[in-house]
Structures are given as C-alpha cells and as structure tokens.
Amino acid sequence: MTAWPDDDVILYDGVCVFCSRWVRFVAARDVERRFRFTAIQSPYGMRLAQAFGIHLQDPDTNAVVHGGEAFFKSDAALTVLSNLPGWGWVRALRVVPKPLRDAVYNLVARNRYRIFGKYEACFIPDAELRARVME
C-alpha cells in the first residue's frame, strides 16, 4: 500500500446518493469529529483513489484510511462503524467471512445508482460538514 499522510479519511463517491447519505450518517454520529471526508471527484479524492488503485470513473468501493492503513469495501464500512460511539458491536461482524461480506457489499455497490439514485454533480455538504471535507 502507498503510505498516505492523513488518517481517518473516508473516500466516497460524491455523486452517489447512497454514499452521500453514508457520509451524513457517519458525520452525525462522529461526536469526536474524528473522520474527515473526500469525494472521489475532488482533486484530493482523485489522488487518494489513484494511490489505492480505485477506478476514478467507476469506483467499486469506498475506502477509509485508519491507523495508517487503507480499508476497502466491507472492511471500510466496519472500520468506520466500529469507531463510532455505540457502534463497537459491529466488530463482531468480522466473524462473517470477508468473501461473503464483500459479496453483499458488491451487490449494493453495483446497483447503488439504480436503487438510490445519482446526483448530477457532487453532493454539497452543509457548512458544518463542509469543515470536515478535504478537497
């Protein structure tokens, strides 16, 4: 993995309605304001995606850099959730085999635009959330 200088950064698809709701979900529960966010469509997000080998035009995963390590797909979601207050119990889901977890993740990821919709342009966060966005 390429070393990344920033920690607790969530990379997401900024035109994906589901992904943008994920960002708002995390931000609302992250009372310590630990996590920061970057859309794959932003200059910072593009650099991060390229460093991790994520296709810019058709991203198939979100990612999180946590503890100096990059996590993808179901590992990324579980890493983020398990670091939110009251959500530590999701660590137990790691007993589910990764191929099975990622199969479910992939099913949702492949159909996210069809099921949840797609914005014409990147989701614009409110002022409070914008302070946590890295562009």
pLDDT in tens, 55-82: 888 888 889 999 888 999 999 999 999 9
Q: What is the pLDDT of residues 16-34, one digit of tens each?
A: 999 999 999 999 999 999 9
pTM for the predicted model, two decimal places: 0.89
Q: Are 41 and 14 in contact (CB under 8 A)?
A: yes
The full length of the chain comes to: 135
Q: How far apart are CA 79 and CA 91, in angstroms?
A: 8
Q: How far apart are CA 52 and CA 49, in angstroms?
A: 5
> What average pLDDT is seen over the chain?
90
What are the structure tokens assigned to 32, written together? 């310590």
Q: How far apart are CA 118 and CA 27, in angstroms?
A: 20
Question: What is the pLDDT, as a whole number, of residue 3?
Answer: 56
User: Residue 105: how many CB atoms within 10 A of its CB?
Assistant: 20
Q: Which helix (H) or strand (E) holds 46?
A: helix 43-52
Give the mean pLDDT of 97-111.
95
Give the mean pLDDT of 129-135.
84
- Of all residues in the chain, the percent with pLDDT exceeding 90 is 68
Range with the largest mean pLDDT of 15-19, 27-31, 51-55, 116-120: 27-31
Question: What is the pLDDT, as a whole number, of residue 1?
Answer: 46
